């Protein structure tokens, strides 16, 4: 498909769970591998081309447990063999995880995409979200070695500058893909003015034509960022990682969201603007990913046994213990 045919296509990413919201915040938040897999499939059927995945431990806290990622990815591909969604696995599901465990699942599963948080920051005024120069260098080079495309999460313009530096050093290869994270506590506020500034910063430092981009807005900025991204020619991310409230009724009462509702609304916004929702195959072309050999993926995952999963879980538990962070998901 040529670039002209893809010009009006918009990629919807579904971030279905994150690491913070729990059932008490919204009973629709998926927690288990089965629940996450089921929501991913429903979102794909509604138009999501990419799924951004976090995992939860058995208490519902964010975890980087490789076995949980493995079980979930296996379920998506084997329970739903028609689903060709692009899987984008987080490397930031637990601020207490060390550098090795943050990429252990990427090494094992070799997903098409994984998150790359391009800088350090305070998090929710309560802790530090550290992405050291060494980690970013090692992570970028590892992704190149494995053929994994980084999703560069930028919480402020400085992180775009960091990305430009790592491009110059050869740690990141263009065209890169940005996720502008808008409205997160301690990050840039979610407003149209700020979204334009983020895009202009990327234009200046990375160069038009050298990147693709998407964005999401947390909380009250969600709708402004949804429509803003479509209007500016970007792609969009929605899901319960970022918002557990869909809106408010006429009496001012909260309408609790589910992932399907959020994806369906995003698809309506894309179409109302006169654009088209990209399929997963089209998203791969837009992002520079290889076409998916879905049959090979299912065959490889089908070869995994319960013993493989239990062994991975036991090894992770022995080496790292139960890790979590009780704060808003990082992406």
Query: Residue 291 is part of a domain; what is its CATH number?
Result: 3.20.20.70
Where in the sequence is the domain holding 184, given as residue range(s)?
9-320
Number of domains within the chain? 1
* 223 belongs to a structural domain: yes
Q: What pLDDT, on a 0 to 100 scale, did the predictor assign at position 5?
A: 81
Amino acid 320: pLDDT? 41
As a whole number, mean pLDDT of residues 186-196 equals 97
300 C-beta neighbours (distance < 10 Å), count = 14
- Which among 157, 179, 257, 168 has a CA at the least distance from the CA of 225? 179
Indicate whether 178 belongs to any domain: yes
Q: Does residue 328 belong to any structural domain of this protein?
A: no
Q: What is the per-residue pLDDT for 326?
A: 32
- Could you give the CA distance from residue 176 to residue 188 in angstroms, rounded to a whole number? 21
Residue 114, domain member (yes or no): yes
What six digits make up the tokens of 246?
A: 């869909």
The verdict on residue 326 lying in a domain is no
pLDDT digits (tens, 9 = 90+) for 227-285: 999 999 999 999 999 999 999 999 999 999 999 999 999 999 999 999 999 999 999 99
35-89 pLDDT, tens per residue? 999 999 999 999 999 999 999 999 999 999 999 999 999 999 999 999 999 999 9
Answer for the pair 52, 86: CB distance below 8 angstroms, yes or no. no
Residue 315 pLDDT: 58
Asked, for residue 127, whether it belongs to a domain, the answer is: yes
Say if 325 falls within a structural domain. no
Express as a percent the part of the chain with pLDDT over 70. 88
């Amino acid at each position: 498909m040529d670039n002209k045919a893809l010009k009006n296509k918009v990629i919807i990413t579904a971030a279905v769970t994150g690491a913070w919201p729990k059932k008490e915040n919204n009973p629709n938040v998926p927690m288990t591998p089965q629940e996450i897999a089921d929501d991913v499939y429903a979102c794909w059927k509604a138009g999501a081309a990419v799924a951004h995945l976090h995992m939860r431990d058995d208490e519902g806290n964010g975890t980087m447990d490789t076995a949980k990622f493995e079980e979930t990815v296996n379920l998506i591909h084997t329970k739903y063999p028609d689903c060709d969604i692009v899987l984008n696995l987080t490397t930031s599901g637990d601020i207490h995880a060390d550098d090795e465990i943050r990429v252990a699942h990427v090494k094992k599963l070799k997903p098409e995409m994984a998150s790359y948080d391009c800088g350090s920051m305070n998090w929710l005024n309560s802790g530090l979200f550290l992405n050291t120069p060494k980690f970013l260098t090692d992570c970028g080079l590892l992704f190149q070695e494995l053929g994994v495309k980084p999703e560069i999460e930028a919480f402020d313009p400085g992180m775009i500058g960091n990305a430009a530096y790592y491009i110059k050093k050869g740690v990141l290869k263009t065209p890169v893909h940005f996720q502008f994270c808008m409205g997160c506590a301690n990050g840039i506020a979610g407003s149209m003015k700020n979204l334009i500034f983020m895009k202009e910063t990327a234009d200046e430092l990375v160069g038009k034509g050298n990147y693709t981009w998407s964005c999401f807005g947390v909380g009250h900025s969600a709708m402004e960022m949804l429509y803003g991204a479509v209007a500016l020619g970007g792609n969009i991310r929605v899901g319960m990682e970022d918002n557990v409230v869909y809106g408010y009724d006429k009496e001012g009462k909260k309408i609790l969201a589910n992932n399907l509702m959020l994806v369906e609304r995003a698809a309506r916004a894309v179409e109302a603007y006169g654009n088209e929702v990209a399929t997963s195959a089209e998203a791969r072309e837009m992002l520079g990913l290889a076409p998916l050999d879905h049959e090979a993926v299912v065959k490889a995952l089908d070869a995994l046994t319960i013993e493989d999963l239990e062994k991975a879980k036991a090894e992770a538990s022995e080496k790292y213990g139960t890790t979590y962070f009780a704060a808003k998901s990082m992406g």
